[in-house]
Structure 1
Amino acid sequence: MRTLPLRDPRLLAKPPACRLGAHILCRNTAGHVLIVDPDFLDGHTLPGGACRTNEPPHHAATRLLHAQTGLHRPVTHLLAVDFTPADRYLERLTLVFDGGVLGDPEAARIKVPPRNRSNLFGARFGDPRELSTLMSPAQNARVQQALATLGRTLPLLIHGQRATAE
């Protein structure tokens, strides 16, 4: 079997354009899901957003959760991978990580920065059965699939090695 060198120009000539998103599924002790309300979308979403160039997605998820809510939850396990074909935006790959269960004291410490810094109207916990009224159908489907995967998570690998929490 012939292998191409890692720097083969055919591999580097035109890399695919794809956005990578990282979101985190956190629940409270009642099983409700932490959601944020971005001012640039219709409806709520899980905390998270776009990864920076070369940023490991689990680091992006923890960074964005902290920026959006003040919480720090280390993550190393995937719950869902969602591919969205190109439409009016570039194609996207969104990873949903397991943020675990927040105890009542931790949940009470959620603090959303002012809207001019966070682009968020706020954050709240939503009953999974009612998320379809708060989120777009695609966002809700992503959350429902992630919830269905709880307990059967996939480990996150970085270059073939298990990722460690940030």
Structure 2
Amino acid sequence: MRDPRPPARPPVTRLGCLVLVRNRRGDVLLVDPDYLDGMILPGGAARPNEPPHRAAARHLHAETGLNLRLSQVLALDFTPADRYLERLNLVFDGGTVRDGTRLTVPPQHRSGLLGARFVPVHELPAVMAPAQAARVAEALTGRDLPLLLHGQRTV
């Protein structure tokens, strides 16, 4: 018989909260972390009990200076454990920013980022790891999912 009590230490699963931002030409905003080969979408892990859209917005602001409201999920991607713990990645729609939007990337010694820039869609496979590029390609299909918190839209 299964014990109905919650485990004292629930298993750890990271929740990745990423943001897909485009410019008017359709280029995708990527950041270049010094700890990975290739560029990635801005974002990072949610803190315990942090709503995922707020975590994504927090990381986006910290990495690029952009302050956006996020309410739509474009893709949901489960990544099995490798050198990190297994995790679930949500890709939020950051919308389209105006041409000339200024990006503010913190110094590398504080952020672990070499920079950020908009990359044309056709160049994504050349600058991203295959799984990262595939995630972005799926997010770009235009099929969106509503973000719900306890069954209610976040907007």
Global fold match (TM > 0.5): yes
Q: In structure 2, give the amino acid aligned to 1:40.
A: Y
Q: In structure 1, give the amino acid aligned to 2:135.
A: R
Alignment partner of 2:140: what SS? helix
Alignment partner of 1:12: what SS? coil
Could you tell me how far apart the structure 1 residues matched to 2:66 and 2:82 are? 33
Q: Structure 1 residue 85: deviation in Å? A: 1.0
Alignment partner of 1:23: what SS? strand
Structure-2-length-normalised TM-score? 0.94
Structure-1-length-normalised TM-score? 0.88
Q: Where has structure 1 moved over 2 Å in runs of 4 or more? A: 11-14
Q: Deviations over 1:107-130 (max 9, x none)?
A: 2x1111111111100000111111
Could you tell me how far apart the structure 2 residues matched to 1:103 and 1:97 are? 18
Q: Note if 1:76 corresponds to 2:67.
A: no
Q: Structure 1 residue 136: deviation in Å? A: 0.3
Aligned-residue identity in percent: 60
Q: Note if 1:133 corresponds to 2:104.
A: no
* Equivalent of residue 32 in structure 1, options 18, 27, 34: 27
Q: Note if 1:61 corresponds to 2:52.
A: no
Gaps of 5+ in 2: none
Q: Structure 1 residue 87: deviation in Å? A: 2.0
Instruction: Select the structure that is richer in helix.
Output: 1
Q: Note if 1:162 corresponds to 2:153.
A: yes
Gaps of 5+ in 1: 1-7
Q: Structure 1 residue 15: deviation in Å? A: 1.9
Q: In structure 1, give the amino acid aligned to 2:148.
A: L
Equivalent pairs, count: 152
Q: Deviations over 1:28-81 (max 9, x none)?
A: 000000000011111100000111111111001111110001111111000000
